[in-house]
Amino acid sequence: MENQDEQKFPQESPLLTREEFESVSDSPKKTRRKALALVALGSAAAAGIGSRTEQGKRLLASGRNLLERLEDQWHEHRSGGSFATQRIPLPNELEYIAFLEKLSLRYISPSEIVKPHRNIRNGVANEIPPRHMWNRVVDTLKVADEIRHRLGKPLYCINSAYRCPAYNAECSGAASHSYHMKNRALDLMFTGGPEAAADVARKLREEGFFSGGIGVYSSFIHVDTRGYDASWGA
């Protein structure tokens, strides 16, 4: 049986349910911090453990760490409008990760690719693409990997990959026929801004590396492998 003195708060599972998180996410800062602090320190208080005992001190320290993590979740939620739960894998997520690992990309990890599939926007959850679409993203990922190689600057994040139709409908400005819904498109944020990355993408397309769309936005570029060339944006 686990020694009570060695018990720790879970490190990977979400700290709040989505409903609890939403209930404090729009509160004024002081009120929000108080609510989060009560959640973070609730275990120690409920156990009636005083701060003078060694166990109490450890639990209170863990509570402070939880508060910091909750604040990070709040900032991510407010900045992106999404809350990506980490409680359990999405359906087919582990199998999709195994598929992506076999691609042996040089710079892009399966976890980076999968992350936007966990997003929730306006209460609508994104999903892992259907199995019959998995191969469609391969060429686009190779384009992204080659852009990263030639650009010589890190990929900050993948903003968007596959979008299920319901989630796509909640994305502001998304086309109803978006290639994201076909698992052929990626939105990429590169360190150094979108213009340099777009220049590399155009060069690759001119060389025949791929045929597809290149869109330039204020903070990211869109690339897809639709099979014919298209360009938009700055």
Q: Number of helices (H) and strands (E), helices first, in the chain?
A: 8, 7
Query: Encoding tokens for residue 91?
Result: 């359906």
Is residue 85 included in any domain, yes or no?
Answer: no
| Domains in the chain, number | 2
**Strands, E assignment, the chain:** 120-121, 124-125, 155-160, 185-190, 213-216, 221-224, 230-233
Is residue 75 included in any domain, yes or no?
Answer: yes
> Residue range 112-140: average pLDDT?
95
Least confident of 58-67, 129-138, 206-215, 224-233: 58-67
Decide which of 48, 80, 112 is a domain's last residue: 80
> Residue range 14-31: average pLDDT?
48
Check pLDDT > 70 for residue 179.
yes
Decide which of 41, 58, 80 is a domain's last residue: 80
Nearest by Cα to 6 from 54, 65, 66, 70: 54
70 and 168 share one domain = no
> Residue range 21-49: average pLDDT?
49
Looking at residue 193, its pLDDT comes to 92
**67 — alpha (psi -120 to 50), left (phi > 0) or beta?**
alpha
103 and 201 share one domain = yes
Looking at residue 185, its pLDDT comes to 98
Check pLDDT > 70 for residue 111.
yes
Looking at residue 106, its pLDDT comes to 96
76 and 97 share one domain = no
Check pLDDT > 60 for residue 180.
yes
Per-residue pLDDT tens over the stretch 46-105 = 444 444 566 555 555 555 555 555 555 555 555 455 444 445 788 899 999 999 999 999
CATH number of the domain encompassing residue 206: 3.30.1380.10
Decide which of 80, 106, 131 is a domain's last residue: 80
Q: What gap in Å lies between CA 193 and CA 223, rounded to an integer?
A: 15
Looking at residue 43, its pLDDT comes to 44
59 and 116 share one domain = no
53 and 121 share one domain = no
102 and 189 share one domain = yes
160 and 53 share one domain = no
Domain interval for residue 100:
93-233
131 and 198 share one domain = yes
Highest mean pLDDT among 3-7, 8-12, 86-90, 198-202: 198-202
71 and 104 share one domain = no
> Residue range 98-126: average pLDDT?
94
Is residue 183 included in any domain, yes or no?
Answer: yes
Looking at residue 8, its pLDDT comes to 35
155 and 111 share one domain = yes
> Residue range 103-110: average pLDDT?
95
Is residue 87 included in any domain, yes or no?
Answer: no
Per-residue pLDDT tens over the stretch 141-170 = 999 999 999 999 999 999 999 999 999 998
116 and 203 share one domain = yes
